[in-house]
């Protein structure tokens, strides 16, 4: 690897900046306020693809089977016996949970559609206001 | 014997996901049974490749879980329930303070991740860290097991795919200098310092320049809006935020780039630096965290955030052909260290050494 004489280059650069009188006086990022008119972590409209993909992921993971596959052999046999014994308690609970999960996802999607609908309405109203202002 | 990989979330195309899949393919060609298990699986990944965490097979004491640690998740605290040996692959967790103003979610995930990292210190029997910087973080968190450094596996063959022609046609047939940074829009990556240096560069040296800030801002909208406001207040016309884009578009941006500038203040490895090396784009980077280590003597390191000085460095690299050539040549040499074959061999060697040591005991 060929060595770069960074120190020398930096000296030359500092000298050049001094000669030309360039200064650091510019607007600092700290002077820009963080917008407060925004819900923290809200998903913007243009990120809908990512949002949809997340929803799909959640939907795929929302159904929880009440039992897991078990291997063969003695261990598996014992697990199957236990599963049979507890099935009548666990299965109805997971069924209820699955219904709840499914309703939740539907609700999120409905909310998202509602927001979109309202955004369209707002745009229409804004256009109306602009037209009215023009005709004044 | 089984060696399986476990992680909370596997995303398509991100650095951790790529590393996991590459290790899976490598382990498939060994005598070990292997698999990837995750809690959240990107729908673009086939169910044959990645399975849900609940499908983890019965593990014996001598089996191994390779656990990819990069965020806060309840899995960090549940890993101990698996009755087998555990190897942690540490990809780094960003200090939560960076996100304080912008995202409660990211702040929480990182705080919880750091707590989880400390918790896992008592469970880990061996660790692999993407960089020496990551290794130091593990040591600081109280890890007493053996830790080796193994760079992340990068899917270089994907970079040979066809880049997006529209972007290349739009931005490469003129005399503009194209400056690039790729990576999520995130406060630790300090895109504002990039913007301020670019502002000074266009003010004093070259008006014909563009800055492409390529990367998703999902979850970082507040920071993104602040960056946009900053660009607006500085009256900069040629700063482009692409947001989340397709892979062929990312390739195109590397193809049209004249310079890659990174002002990040916290990176556990920084894959985009290696990508820039691959595309023979000279790199100017701020010397922080694992940056210098990943560059390994290549690129041009700056130790200041002064926008005037950084603008002058950009100008120097863009106008001094000899310097530019040396930077690119050094990057080419450094790139060879990230050859997948070398890293894969190292991984297998480390694994065998871990297994050997354990068997001796």
How far does B344 lie from chain A, in Å, by closest CA?
A: 24
Question: Considering B124, B153, B182, which residue would you say is the last residue of a domain?
Answer: B153
Q: Which residues of B touch A77 (CB under 8 A)?
A: none
Residues 62..101 of A with a Cβ closer than 8 Å to B: which? 68-69, 71, 75
Residue-averaged pLDDT of chain B: 94
Closest Cβ opposite residue B58 in set A38, A44, A75: A75
**pLDDT greater than 60 at residue A32:** yes
Task: List the CATH number of the domain containing B275.
Answer: 3.40.50.2000
**pLDDT greater than 70 at residue A48:** no
pLDDT of residue B81: 93
pLDDT of residue B117: 97
What would the mean pLDDT of B248-252 be, rounded to a whole number? Answer: 96
What would the mean pLDDT of B39-45 be, rounded to a whole number? Answer: 81
Q: What angle do CA B239, B245, B249 make, to 5 degrees?
A: 85
What would the mean pLDDT of B256-281 be, rounded to a whole number? Answer: 98
Of the residues A11, A40, A61, A79, the best mutation for testing chain B's interface (the one with the most B CB atoms within 10 Å of its CB) is: A40
Assess whether B95 and B120 both reside in one domain: yes
* DSSP secondary structure, A61-100, as one string: HH---SS----SHHHHHHHHHHHHHHHHHHHHHHHHHHHH
Count: domains in chain B: 2
Assess whether B133 and B186 both reside in one domain: no
The percent of residues in chain A predicted with pLDDT above 70, rounded, is 85
What would the mean pLDDT of A107-136 be, rounded to a whole number? Answer: 88
Of the residues B225, B263, B311, the best mutation for testing chain A's interface (the one with the most A CB atoms within 10 Å of its CB) is: B225
Cβ atoms of B137 and B90 closer than 8 Å: yes
Q: Which residues of B touch A57 (CB under 8 A)?
A: 40-43
Q: Which residues of B touch A53 (CB under 8 A)?
A: 42-43
Residue B347 lies in a domain: no
Closest Cβ opposite residue B221 in set A6, A33, A38: A38
Cβ atoms of B287 and B275 closer than 8 Å: no
Assess whether B197 and B321 both reside in one domain: yes
Assess whether B240 and B315 both reside in one domain: yes
Q: Which residues contact A136 (CB under 8 A, 6 or more apart)?
A: none
**pLDDT greater than 60 at residue A43:** no
Assess whether B147 and B225 both reside in one domain: no
Q: What is the CA radius of gyration of chain B?
A: 21
Q: Please tell me the pTM assigned to this model.
A: 0.81
Residue A27 lies in a domain: no
Q: Which residues of A touch B204 (CB under 8 A)?
A: 20, 22
Assess whether B331 and B192 both reside in one domain: yes
Per-residue pLDDT band at B43 (split at 50, 70, 90):
confident
**B218·A47 Cβ contact <8 A:** yes
Q: Which residues of A touch B326 (CB under 8 A)?
A: 2, 4
Range of the domain at B127: 2-153
Predicted confidence (pLDDT) per residue in B281-332, tens digit = 999 999 999 999 999 999 999 999 999 999 999 999 999 999 999 999 999 9
**pLDDT greater than 60 at residue A44:** no
Instruction: Of B285, B317, B281, B283, give the one whose Cα is nearest residue B303.
Output: B285
Q: Which residues of A touch B243 (CB under 8 A)?
A: 46-47
What would the mean pLDDT of A114-127 be, rounded to a whole number? Answer: 89
B243 phi/psi in degrees, rounded to 5: 70, -160
Count: domains in chain A: 1
Predicted confidence (pLDDT) per residue in B139-159, tens digit = 999 999 999 999 999 999 999
Assess whether B301 and B248 both reside in one domain: yes
Residue B346 lies in a domain: no
**pLDDT greater than 70 at residue B55:** yes
Residue B345 lies in a domain: no
Q: Is B41 on the interface with A (CB under 8 A)?
A: yes
Residue B249 lies in a domain: yes
pLDDT of residue A135: 83
Range of the domain at A76: 37-135
pLDDT of residue A68: 75
Q: Which residues of A touch B104 (CB under 8 A)?
A: 40-41
pLDDT of residue A53: 63
Q: Is A122 on the interface with B (CB under 8 A)?
A: no
Assess whether B132 and B233 both reside in one domain: no
Is ipTM over 0.90?
Answer: no
**A17·B308 Cβ contact <8 A:** yes
**pLDDT greater than 90 at residue A71:** no
Residue A73 lies in a domain: yes
Assess whether B144 and B190 both reside in one domain: no
User: Tokens 């700290």 belong to which residue?
Assistant: A30
Residue A53 lies in a domain: yes
Assess whether B291 and B186 both reside in one domain: yes
Residue of A nearest to B219 (CA): A41
Residue A21 lies in a domain: no
Residue A99 lies in a domain: yes
Residue A41 lies in a domain: yes
Assess whether B182 and B239 both reside in one domain: yes
**pLDDT greater than 80 at residue A49:** no
pLDDT of residue B356: 87
pLDDT of residue B106: 85
Per-residue pLDDT band at A50 (split at 50, 70, 90):
low
Assess whether B262 and B224 both reside in one domain: yes
> pLDDT higher for B35 or A113?
B35
């Amino acid at each position: 690897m060929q060595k770069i004489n960074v120190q020398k280059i930096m000296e030359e650069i500092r000298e050049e900046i001094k000669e030309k009188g360039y200064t650091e006086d510019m607007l600092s990022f700290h002077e820009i306020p963080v917008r407060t008119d925004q819900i923290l972590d809200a998903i913007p409209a243009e990120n809908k693809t990512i949002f949809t993909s997340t929803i799909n992921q959640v939907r795929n993971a929302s159904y929880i089977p009440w039992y897991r596959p078990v291997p063969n052999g003695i261990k598996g046999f014992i697990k199957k016996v236990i599963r049979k014994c507890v099935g009548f308690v666990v299965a109805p609970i997971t069924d209820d949970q699955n219904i709840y999960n499914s309703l939740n996802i539907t609700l999120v999607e409905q909310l998202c559609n509602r927001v979109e609908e309202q955004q369209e309405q707002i745009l229409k109203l804004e256009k109306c206001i602009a037209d009215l202002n023009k005709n004044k | 014997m089984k060696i399986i990989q476990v992680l909370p979330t596997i995303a398509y195309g991100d650095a951790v996901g790529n590393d996991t899949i590459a290790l899976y393919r490598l382990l498939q060609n060994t005598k070990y049974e292997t698999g990837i298990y995750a809690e959240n699986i990107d729908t673009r990944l086939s169910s044959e490749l990645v399975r849900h965490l609940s499908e983890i097979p019965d593990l014996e004491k001598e089996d191994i879980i390779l656990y990819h640690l990069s965020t806060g998740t309840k899995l960090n605290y549940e890993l101990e329930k698996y009755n087998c040996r555990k190897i942690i692959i540490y990809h780094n967790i960003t200090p939560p303070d960076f996100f304080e103003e912008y995202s409660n979610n990211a702040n929480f995930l990182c705080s919880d991740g750091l707590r989880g990292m400390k918790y896992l210190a008592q469970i880990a029997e061996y660790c692999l860290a993407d960089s020496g910087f990551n290794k130091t973080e593990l040591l600081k968190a109280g890890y007493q097991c053996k830790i080796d450094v193994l760079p992340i596996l990068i899917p270089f063959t994907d970079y040979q795919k066809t880049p997006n022609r529209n972007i290349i046609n739009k931005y490469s047939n003129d005399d503009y200098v194209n400056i690039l940074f790729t990576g999520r829009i995130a406060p630790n990556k300090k895109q504002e310092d990039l913007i301020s240096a670019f502002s000074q560069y266009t003010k004093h040296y070259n008006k014909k320049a563009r800055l492409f800030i390529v990367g998703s801002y999902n979850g970082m909208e507040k920071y993104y809006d602040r960056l946009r406001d900053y660009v607006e207040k500085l009256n900069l016309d040629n700063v482009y935020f692409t947001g989340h884009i397709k892979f062929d578009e990312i390739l195109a941006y590397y193809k049209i780039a004249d310079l890659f500038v990174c002002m990040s203040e916290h990176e556990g490895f920084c894959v985009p630096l290696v990508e820039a090396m691959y595309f023979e784009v000279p790199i100017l980077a701020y010397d922080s965290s694992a940056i210098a280590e990943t560059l390994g003597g290549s690129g041009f390191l700056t130790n200041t955030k002064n926008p005037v000085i950084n603008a002058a460095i950009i100008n120097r690299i863009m106008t001094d052909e000899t310097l530019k050539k040396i930077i690119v040549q050094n990057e080419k040499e450094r790139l060879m260290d990230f050859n997948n074959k070398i890293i894969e061999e190292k991984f297998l060697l480390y694994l065998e050494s871990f297994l050997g040591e354990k068997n001796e005991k």
